[in-house]
A = this chain, B = another copy of it.
Amino acid sequence: MNAPERLPLPDVQAGLDARNLPIDRVGIKRIRYPFVARSGGHAVHTIGTWSIGVALPPHVKGTHMSRFVELLESQREPLDIDALGELAARMLERLDATSGSIEVSFPYFVAKAAPVSGITSLLDYEVTWRVSVDRAAASARIKVVVPATSLCPCSRDISEYGAHNQRSHITIDAGVRGAISIEELASIAERSASCEVYGLLKRADEKYVTERAYDNAKFAEDLVRDVALELDREPRVTHYVVEAENFESIHNHSAFARIERVVGRSASDR
């Protein structure tokens, strides 16, 4: 009795809509699908959490939601952000849409060598790729959340010994026009921190990172300024938001700083 109808089922979504209101984005979100992320010469198995959508014209009642999942299902090759743009272009055709976007967030693992012992382990960055396309153009953004150590200059300078330090998240969210890798952006953030973090540290490494952070005290303000100075010199970045969030070891809240910037405009333009 649950047998499917043999007559064609009505296509409710394809009906006309009388409200005459275009919709900016319609699609699916919070769907997890695995893929292989290509960046910096590496190919990393990972799991994406996807948000995929298109614009809907004023006269169309609804989109065809199943086609977004078909798009994911059809995609089994390794992806870099350029290939994601091509996937978005295929989406426009498949959905008969004039604009659309694909956003995927995923953990990306990099093998890092400890600073003294050289022992390697994996570190995870949380990455988001976002591509927006219309019939004429495409744009791409890369966001990388980089865990790092920050050590407070005030605490160090006012105290007889010690200094409070903590894990920080340095987030670079950059519009990009050329092939810039996750690794390159993460490296900019790590160079700007009091010290990088690692999965695996032996005692000699732990001595090194402790002393390096103390030698290299930074406020949240310093972290974002140092990242901004590097990004301002990067021709493949068109605009960016950089934020540092310090999960303060002496408070139950975070300190943060943020710089937003269109590259090429001087500070006095802002």
Chain A interface (Cβ within 8 Å of chain B)?
1-2, 4-5, 9-13, 17, 19-34, 44-47, 51, 53, 56, 58, 61-63, 65-66, 69-70, 72-73, 107, 109, 116, 119-124, 147, 149, 151, 153-155, 157-167, 195, 197-204, 206-215, 219-222, 224-226, 228-229, 245, 247-260, 267, 270
| Complex alpha-carbon distance, A73 and B224, angstroms | 28
| Complex alpha-carbon distance, A147 and B32, angstroms | 13
**A206–B158 contact, CB under 8 A?**
yes
For the complex of A and B, 6 pairs with smallest distance between CB atoms: A162-B214, A31-B253, A45-B45, A159-B210, A26-B257, A12-B154
15 more contacts with CB within 8 A, not counting A11-B203, A159-B214, are: A25-B258, A32-B253, A33-B122, A34-B109, A58-B267, A62-B154, A69-B200, A72-B121, A149-B164, A154-B203, A197-B250, A198-B251, A199-B252, A201-B251, A210-B250
Chain B residues within an 8 Å CB radius of A5 = 158, 204, 207
**A34–B46 contact, CB under 8 A?**
yes
Which residue of chain B lies nearest to A19 when distances are taken between CB atoms in the complex? B225
Given contacts A158-B9, A160-B211, contact A256 B25 (CB under 8 A): yes
